[in-house]
Structure 1
């Protein structure tokens, strides 16, 4: 399988049409390549395949068997070697029915690791092959999961991303992946990342750490929480690197460090696009967000898009780059779109060619395949092996530890007096393990509906004391996706994290402060922080505190006891605010009315930027101000006040579970069907389609607990022909809820389909437990054994 490089270096008029390539430099560099003035590696490893089909997220390139977008799998790919001296192209592995992707060359240049899916019925597994094409070996075998993005570690272990802990993005239905590690022979696969969304495109830094792109959000919008993170090879010390609080670009992905500099090459892309975009060079010493850190960007005009618009702003580019790889601090290999510009009428506008780009702005087309795109280019040669960072964790179920040196060492704490923070609340953001087809329109698509506009449910694990000097030290459950809130003496939120942290068994993780300047020098300490002079604080082990938060269980009883006597349907105060418990197709009456009438100030699926202390939550909410000022003769206990504060500070959440008992009905929650709801709308003159999202204008129109009080019935006379039929539809919903409780009720059981999904999740967790046990005991366990 050989073709000529002469065919692939395009010197015709089509080159002149590329807006970002200047004709003179291209010809000049082309001549230098052939004259030997540019010292390209003798052999380049490349992938030839079709561009991934566009999907709803730039991470959704798996098209995994059995998932919602399987049919987008586009087969036909090859792992090839491009000889830059002779122009010959040799195939190591070709497939007409599958896809080869994500190669990485070993440190000695003798082996190649990659991800391979043989056909649409298969899933991606990790394979290894010799550089001469011999001894193809499969390393991972788990069924029903995708293993991608493998990476050799300095100790020859292998990092990769995988869907082995099945979870789905909260704003849609796409399966996500986390970081894993295994031995060179494929044994002892253990999970390193626990974020609730996607961790991928990992690369090895010069100091031995891993850099990867992470998509995550807590109380943030779905599209602009994709930045670069670092982690040690054992999974400890996950930390933000760049772009965690950027609204645009929506995806900062595919990082590669320069070989002799502390700068990072990466792609500035969009959420709802393929994994391509502008090519950017970041100097993190100049900033962890924004333009200041961007030393160079291709095309240069895309610099004006940084921090402008939203998560999809970079989709307007008419030239896009993908899979960068630095050959030196001055020259980079990168895939680049050939025919994407608006003037092009090429039949394959998404086709990518292999380019050499340099810091002077020159871009040279090195290779264009006749039919498909060229990706993942890198030298097939020995390379630098960074130091090995030793393991600093256990592989059991023991806890980890967090400390904060001084919570007041922070940005965005205006108006917060030292000594005013008394507690730190620890919260878990659980993963979403199932999905429904119908959705609720929050600040993104919730399938099923979970909250008014934010995406996550939450579990309060407890609070720990903050010492007078601002220090905190506590024990935390390992392997959980956690975030923290600072609380005052009333346990009202002062400030909240909107990103997650992970601690592994036996790991101690910490920070200088809360939202501290990550480029600042830690303050000089002459004394040991007070919290570190004691044993770590323990979180509450109360079962009530460790349940996932439920609006109906944990807050509504406060309203039932103190408020509903006046704030009910048909009451005068109810005209101002309904606080009744009655469920409707999506949530309940009080929840909808409080949200609709903006009685609480929350961030919802909030902005990417860090928010100021006191700017949202219980301190900023009108509902709290009214209650604390004294509302008629209502006197709430401290426990009841804390229940209200906690709910608001958790961002006004509602459902405790992502699972559903009514997966095919409106919002994945309603006990009445789409047909029944539409008919009810016809009878009552209410367009219920407009009520299935947080932009609705009407309060609750249905009360399943008391059907006759349903506000939608007021539109028709009780003695009309329409009334009995309309009432019967609502009563049918009441009866169904009695028979099949939904997720905001006691006795809830997920639907049968989701029970199967949950069973798969539990099976995978058992495999993970066995693998960790094998590591702890010095044994070896393989996918084949685990699957048996």
Structure 2
């Protein structure tokens, strides 16, 4: 066994007994666990199936890939039976006991613990899966038998020898080569079973009700005794903190990562938020939970601790109100104060070292160009002069983005780290990565990933003392509430090196918070049922330690945990001076200096001197949107109108100088002598008032320095 591998399987031992009373007729798979020979696949080359031979299997960790061949198992509409014994720990639900088949609707067979009182014989979603309630619930910490039969016309589900339910159904199981024990067809979905299993069997016929009853009666009470529950870990010692705060709220069913506030643009009655919210403080030593805010008709999200850990900044939608606003509260629940108001949503706030707050807001008054929800981008409210209490005044928009921005957080050098979505003449579902800017909105630049499409990099935070950041990599175009794979990023080799992003573990989580380079708080991010109700500690090696679990009643009500944060002081970052100027102070424009337009990536075929002018365009935000496509503006073209602002000359040496209106999303197209476009920018640039920006060339590598050459300054009147 390699160093660092976990002991994740145990065989519970018992004196030898008589052979299993399983019916022999039609048996095509049987794992009695008596030999310890459970087929196993290696994880990263480490064989994780270890332990002495014995009588029953205990799976202590998720992410195993136990299983064997399905070549002899019933396929198509052939009759069959799946049978096993299991014991679930308290709180363990929404877990798959076993399955085989393909990820095609109706092409699988599996057993699933849906809730603490519900089992399912599932066929991968369609035709109708067989869900059945267990009278009195599935008692944790004891053995239970479950069997699912299919006779080519009717599916039946049995629990502890009794029929739970049945359904007429026509399935078409398509084998994919693997029988999976303790995990789902869709890997890494958080439904890996942790607990005990024994006597796994599959038949090529449907066992009768009497056979199942007799089998249960013969083995009930004779399986190996279960061990006493393990004592909980010393969480304060493990995490290095005594208390954490977190939010509890319901989430919407919409799968887009950003669809969690505001109304539908066509149907105002369709809200992307739901009633039920709490702000909680958990004492890790005693397990006591204190509700600082408890609003059954409201919503709570995005808590952030002040630098001295005495105040919590959060976003709160009071019961009966349609909008989230920023609030502060003492960690003891005192001095609740509202900071912002108005017909807007203010979310995802973070304290900055100068006392200001950077947050995300819908005050930009625009809608997603390819969807029917509102956009929110970075804003800031300043600390009042003279040491007065923070009051949310002097709100200023920092970004001119026409798409979403999310989860700002201060970097150790005082800049703001955030997620930026953009698609200037490129895929609307591919590019949502990590950017930085100064707290005044100037100096926006990519930190990591703008050339790595098809993942949303979000909820990023710096890992103390390392120069690295941790983020959720939400797959594809992102998932509900930022669910994704927790990933450590080292941007030291530049923004485009995929080898410097390392996922930890293989499950889905939300809201990572770095306690150190080796340990992270997170909310789990699994599927339905009681999923999403745990706070966990995730090690850099992928080991998951439960920290807190919502009650079954909360899980049934659809509540989830969000944004766990340690209650501990942290150092204040250096303050970057505010250099931007308002229009009233001469800050209506900023400038851009381009050193040599012929330098950069993908410039093959462009000859020196070929580019004569830069066409300057502005992307116009959508004040409303009612389609998911480009229609009615274009058909297969752009999602937004692009306004021509003007042209500027490109000098013979490739340089250009542009004065741009401040706080507008602009981009450039390179024109030849015939005013034909030979290269087009697929991002946008925004300048703050009075800001001067320079770049080496056209899409140059972000870490490139200007070429060494003699520069002659041109003057003119």
Contact 2:236–2:284 (Cα < 8 Å) also in 1: no
2-side partners of 1:116 and 1:380: how far apart? Answer: 19
**In the TM superposition, what are the counterparts of 1:132-531 in structure 2 within 5 Å?**
132-142=332-342, 144-183=343-382, 184-249=390-455, 251-269=456-474, 270-271=476-477, 273-274=479-480, 275-289=482-496, 291-299=498-506, 319-338=507-526, 340=527, 348=529, 350-370=531-551, 371=554, 372-396=559-583, 398-436=588-626, 439=627, 445-446=629-630, 448-520=632-704, 522-528=705-711, 530=712
Are 1:210 and 1:230, in contact at CA under 8 Å, matched by a contact in 2? Answer: yes
How much does 1:367 deviate? 0.6
Distance 1:146 1:534 in 2: 48
Distance 1:35 1:87 in 2: 10
2:565 and 2:354 map into 1 onto residues whose CA distance is 21
Determine helix, strand or coil for the equivalent of 2:646. Answer: strand
Which residues of structure 1 form unaligned runs of 5+? 1-8, 300-318, 341-346, 538-788
For residues 432-476 of structure 1, what are the alpha-carbon distances to aligned partners after superposition, in whole Å with 9 as ceiling and x for unaligned? 11234xx5xxxx513534344321211111111112222222211
Alpha-carbon distance, 1:39 to partner: 4.1
Report the CA distance between 1:75 and its aligned residue. Answer: 1.0
Q: Which TM-score applies when normalising by structure 1? A: 0.58
TM-aligned CA distance change 1:65 to 1:79, over 3 Å:
farther
SS at match of 1:38: helix
SS of structure 2 residue aligned to 1:474 = strand
User: 2-side partners of 1:236 and 1:363: how far apart?
Assistant: 39
**Structure 2 unaligned blocks of 5 or more:** 1-87, 98-181, 196-226, 383-389
**Contact (CA 8 Å) 1:64, 1:123: kept in 2 or not?**
no
Cα-to-partner distance string for 1:651-707 (whole Å, 9 max, x where unaligned): xxxxxxxxxxxxxxxxxxxxxxxxxxxxxxxxxxxxxxxxxxxxxxxxxxxxxxxxx
**Greater displacement, 362-371 / 31-40:** 31-40
Deviates more, 1:287-296 or 1:408-417: 287-296
> How many Å apart are 1:196 and its aligned residue?
0.5
Change (3 A) 1:485 1:186: same
CA offsets, 1:526-555, max 9 Å, x none? 533x5x6447x9xxxxxxxxxxxxxxxxxx
Name the CA shift for 1:202/1:10 in 2 (closer, same or farther; >3 Å).
farther
State the secondary structure of the residue aligned to 1:298: coil
Q: Structure 2 vs 1, CA of residues 489 and 76 (structure 1 numbering), >3 Å: closer, same or farther?
A: same
Moved more, 169-178 or 288-297: 288-297
Call closer, same or farther: CA 1:375–1:12 in 2, change over 3 Å.
Answer: closer
> How big is each residue's C-alpha offset from its partner over 1:30-58, in whole Å with a ceiling of 9 and x where there is no partner?
868428652431110111122x2132631
- Per the alignment, residue 107 of structure 1 pairs with 307
Distance 1:284 1:13 in 2: 38
1:679 is aligned to none
Map Cα deviations across residues 724-744 of structure 1 (whole Å, 9 max, x no partner): xxxxxxxxxxxxxxxxxxxxx
Q: Distance in 1 between matches of 2:438 and 2:539?
A: 31
For the 8 Å contact 2:235–2:285, the answer to whether it is kept is no
| Aligned residues: CA RMSD | 2.7
> Paired residue for 2:209?
none
Map of 2:331 onto structure 1? 131
Partner of 1:763: none
The alpha-carbon deviation at position 65 of structure 1 amounts to 8.5
Q: Do the aligned residues in 2 keep the contact of 1:172 with 1:447 (CA within 8 Å)?
A: no
Say if 1:433 and 1:106 are closer, same or farther in 2 by CA, change over 3 A: same
Q: Deviations over 1:166-201 (max 9, x none)?
A: 101111221101111112321111110111111111
CA contact (8 A) 2:312 2:329 kept: yes
Higher strand share: 2
Q: Distance in 2 between matches of 1:120 and 1:56?
A: 25
Instruction: Report if the CA contact (8 A) 2:421-2:433 is conserved.
Output: yes
Q: CA distance change for structure 1 residues 110 and 296 in 2, over 3 Å: closer, same or farther? A: same
Distance 2:509 2:257 in 1: 14
Residues 192 and 509 of structure 1, relative CA distance in 2, 3 Å threshold: same
Q: How do 1:726-737 and structure 2 match up within 5 A?
A: none
The structure, 1 or 2, with the larger RCO (C-alpha pairs under 8 Å, 6+ apart) is 1
For normalisation by structure 2, the TM-score amounts to 0.64
Tell whether the 8 Å contact from 2:245 to 2:280 is kept in structure 1 after alignment: yes
Counterpart-to-counterpart distance in 1, 2:518 and 2:595: 40
CA contact (8 A) 1:64 1:145 kept: no
CA shift digits 1:336-379 (9 cap, x unpaired)? 135x3xxxxxx625433111011122111111111132110111
Take 1:10 and 1:523, find their aligned partners in 2: how far apart are those partners?
Answer: 61
State whether residues 536 and 547 of structure 2, in contact with CA within 8 Å, keep that contact through their aligned partners in structure 1: yes
Q: Please state whether the residue corresponding to 2:271 is helix, strand or coil.
A: helix
- In the TM superposition, what whole-angstrom CA distance separates every residue of 1:105-152 from its partner, at most 9, and x where no partner exists? 11111111111111354311111111111010001011x211111110
